[in-house]
Structure 1
Amino acid sequence: MQFWETLNEVGICISLRRNDRAKQGRLFKRLAPQIGLEMHLAVETPPQLRHFIWKACRNILATKDNLKRRKISVDDEYVLCGQPEETTCHLLWFCKHARGVWESSKLALPFAISPSWMFLDVVQNLQKGEGSQPGLTERVISVCWGIWKDCNERRIGGNGKPSREILKTSLHHVDEYHAANEVR
């Protein structure tokens, strides 16, 4: 269901120019709690990142752990680092490949991520601290998306990218989106 259809269903009538994505994003962020929409969908990111956020927050990314739970795969071992389980949290923060990306970044999280956390826990904690570090949520999510894309590339036999390139490409992607939509 589209965002505007949802607003119309609850009786909120809004008229914005179709190309004014920045206003739409700010409006969405402000109205989402009032109409029962989840805040993690209100981050100002490109559509493919919102799709990634939606899947990651619901713990439905195609990790080995999730595939095994759905009885699609019998093996949940993480092939890139040999860990016994490939979970979303491990893949995005604790795998040696992901740690390399995070260590090359200057992004400082205002909390420590626990291995038992879900992606949604991280997003909610990021959004709580958004006032002290504006844009941190979008940047962290963008880096997670870059790590996810690179892991998938490696999984299907590709070479993947070096940590710094993943970081640079991911942050450039969200910065380019913000510049194009005048979000800041």
Structure 2
Amino acid sequence: MEGARSDTGSSSDDRKLRGFWRSVWMISVPHKVLHFAWRVCRDILPTKEKLMRRKVLQEDWCEECKAESETTVHLFWRFPRAQEVWQHIKLLFSFDPCTISSFLDLMWNLMVLSEYVEEKVAMVVTVAWAIWVNRNEFRNGKRKKTGRDIV
């Protein structure tokens, strides 16, 4: 959320940040998806990178691709299956998703810096939640779904 971080000094920007969080909680998706959106924006999902940092795990490599650490950016954007998922829903962004450094940056771009389209935001949050759910199912022995199945 580069734009928000650099502006957090004034009271008007605090209102913008409060408005952002209020808008997050008002997205028309099930409560469990809203809670997920809040957690991923706060960067507190228990990814392998986070669990290793807390000394719960010994390694943080992505279990599927083994190419890089399992961070939220990797899991939701860089991971090949995540890219397949986003290609299937064909959302157009007014920014380059490859430049996103966190989920909060993505949401800030969608909700503050771009024209806010609630259906698009709801779709992004719901699809990210579906990716997270399938990641957890796969880690617990269930089959990994294709990008098309996740969508």
Using CA pairs under 8 Å that are at least 6 residues apart, name the structure with larger relative contact order, 1 or 2: 2
Give the TM bin, normalised by the shorter chain.
Answer: 0.7 to 0.9
Structure having the larger proportion of residues in helix:
2
**Stretches of 4+ aligned residues off by more than 6 angstroms:** 31-36
Q: How does 1:45-56 map to 2 (within 5 A)?
A: 45-56=29-40
Per the normalisation by structure 1, the TM-score is: 0.66
Residues 1:90 and 2:74 aligned together = yes
Taking structure 2 as the reference length, what is the TM-score of the superposition?
0.79
Gaps of 5+ in 1: 1-30, 168-184
1:162–1:126 Cα change, 3 Å? same
Is contact 1:32-1:39 (8 Å) kept?
no
Query: Identity of counterpart residues, as a percentage?
Result: 33
* Largest Rg, 1 or 2: 1
Q: Secondary structure at the match of 1:74?
A: coil
Equivalent position of 1:118 in the other structure: 102
What RMSD, in angstroms, separates the aligned Cα atoms of the two structures?
Answer: 2.5
Name the structure 2 match of 1:74: 58
**How far apart are residue 48 of structure 1 and its match?**
0.7
Task: Give the structure 2 partner of residue 6 of structure 1.
Answer: none
Distance across 2 between alignment mates of 1:116 and 1:36: 17
In the alignment, structure 2 segments of 5+ residues that lack a partner are 1-14
* Distance across 2 between alignment mates of 1:77 and 1:133: 35
Structure-2 separation of matches of 1:95 and 1:77: 12
